[in-house]
Structure 1
């Protein structure tokens, strides 16, 4: 089956994402010795199109049967992808998803329009069955009747099947038994229950074979017995041979070379040992009830099985720990004696620190110089941020994102941190429903400039300042965090990173962002020693996020954007 489809945004721009087809179970094809399993995921191409070849849901010799694919759409900018069932019968080898995707008439943003009603099809032929001839009043022309008749054959009741068709108001038999000619047996005559030409009859009294013609049983067409042959001539009697010498009736002549009327054999005659040899001198050893040789039959040098001494002690021996070089059971070793740290040193002064259930040091074991009870990104729903926005003076001039300019803001990661979104502090973004032409990219680059995460092109973002509880000033002026979802969760290891934001399409006044006022050729954030790391820079003339960036070629005299990383 060829399945295809194309996904576009309302303004005709291709969407990105994937479409997944799942069968309900593994599909087994016994005739082909093949088992198919697992989902099939197809990525949308640059035109927003997908195309895939799949097994038909009614393919022959397939187990299970009678099932449907579960189709799931995961499209960029559409947070809740559809999931619905589709059936792909082999009668329709080329299917467009736009023709079979379900709609929801309960939603008010469109009206379902019913299509024209097709012409009524002509009724098909009907099939009847019974044990008697069809009733002349039954059915209409073109109908078919199947008659089942019980017939006794070789002492067993069997069934013959004939077919009839109604033509010109009458039922006409189409032929004989649809299973082929039947045999019948009778011992005295040619009468039988057969009414079909071609049936065969065997006369058991004469061996004659009959075949039924259109008007009844005809002449015999053969005989199983054949004519009786003439009796053969009597053979001559053979000569009588000489009589042998009579033997002694009921008496054995010899056994193992011993000839006597009553033979008695000894153990030696049959190569055996006498029963008196068991346990006797010069005989054989005899085993006791446990299958072992008794002590009295062992030689003197083998001992009697009793222990002579243990560790130099004889008699009733009782060994102490010192006798075998061991410590007494009552002896207790200290941690120092075995080169270990006592459990009492865990979390104690001058001891060792203990870890909590998450594998980290508890706060109470940190030195007093560590900053406590301060605002951190996690306190406001972020994983990390470029700076604490509360420490930034509110700029007097609003700043709009420059079209095709990538804004890069440095973020420091001190421990492994999972993230799946880049958030930018917006100062005027009413959402994609108000600004449909805007397109965005977001991503993360490591210190070497390699891209480690990206969102791909995003065509739909929510308005800023609409989180429940936002004050009217932020809500009405669309001020707040705008998260741009990445393509998946990425865990950042400790190090320095740049979060990236790009307005790739739209106009120069589509997106306003909160920034740090800058009055010099370089932002104050670009203050470092050792290896260079500019926390604020930008790259112009970009339509998407490149795979690598070079901070030495970026513009650093800009107003830095305030960004954060999140796990939403």
Structure 2
């Protein structure tokens, strides 16, 4: 198919014998040389040969001889006819301008035997002549201009005499019989009596069914008969895993683990939808037993057991725009949806409406894996059901900050983060680990550094990443935990 930018002309023709029978043969259209179309990045070469079909017809789509920017230009097609029963076919030139996209050779082929070769050149239309003489307007305007005003109706003339009826003439000879409506050809065969084979209609012969090299037949059940199946050897099964008769195999017969052993004591561990062994099938952590754990008090994990801390006498207020980071160790997949900070004095957002908060979780590479976004409303500390009057009065207790989405933490080390992004220096007092300035005692490690307690100043929201080597470690660390509520 030619590119759309090349204008084309479709040439049609029909060739019949004097008796009205379709001729056979071909018509060749040849340009004088290769044609180059720079705009379409195409070079065309070679003739176009149109074969006459069973009705003696051709149809060929060719580049227009006046295509824009074509190289060369100013040429015509050489048309050569090679027809059956016509020894010497014609050869003549034609122009195919783009303004006539459909043309029939019968309208432009030479008919005068004294002028066997000529170029069909289109002359100017009457409208084009009028425009050349100064007419202004469209072709429709020009046609309208040819119609003058209606003149007055003339008088009715006298009625003429009725002429005598002439004599009936002699009957002329019968004309030659025309082509009848019978089929002229079938699948390319043209004969008085046509017999088609299976191959002529793209089918398999009926005797190919069930024959070697043919096709398989189906029995009354819609299945291939056994006689047409290959011999795979072996015959009927005599035994299965050493058993005969009505054989019933179990997992042990094929050296497999019974499905009932999946997740059962003495069996095999099951995998959850995340491809990991569920926490319920993991062994109990080694170490001390029957001690206070985060789970015993409703948390998933914490930075430190607050009860193990020396209670500093001096209170610490959260510094505005300071990010407090406290290390938390995770040794099994753990789902969380709250970051909890332990308050020594927080009266709630109703009492301190200007305060704004952020909380989040970072992995040990410093990448943020969860965030609360900005939080403008937090409940007062120490107001939970059953809390002692001293804690309620002084607003002491856990303050959970909800995350935007739950996060499942894989085993590893993390930092819980807390930020008072807006408010005043006395809005929020937090429980802290007393430091030994200039360093917090939690930051005692050997090998790869992991600071369990540090801070970053000058932030109005939680950064996407943090760098522990750029943080301050000589400040009082906040006590934080993670929870799933």
When normalised by structure 1's length, the TM-score is 0.41
When normalised by structure 2's length, the TM-score is 0.47
